[in-house]
Amino acid sequence: MGLFDSFKKGLRKTKERFFARVTGLLRGKKLAEDLKEELEELLIEADVGVDATMLLLEKLEEKNGDALET
């Protein structure tokens, strides 16, 4: 296995862990303020970026507005 293959494998594992954590956060829960903050932290830690994170959270609130707790 070459260096590039090892790099791709590592990124795949990181992506899988990231999406598993996001899915776990959102499964069957209302988006309470503490959950929203945890999701924001997770997205920023994953280098999604602040602007993209804020946009994602806004879209999530728009889509699930009736399920939000603030």
Domains for the chain: give ranges and CATH numbers.
3-67 (1.20.120.140)
Per-residue pLDDT of the chain (70 residues), as tens digits, is 688 888 888 888 887 887 777 777 666 556 677 778 888 888 888 888 888 888 888 877 776 654 444 4
Per-residue pLDDT, 31: 65
- Residue 68's DSSP bridge partners are 31
Residue with tokens 């956060």: 25
Per-residue pLDDT, 70: 42
- CA 39, CA 33: separation in Å to the nearest integer? 10
- What's the predicted TM-score (pTM) here? 0.52
Per-residue pLDDT, 67: 47
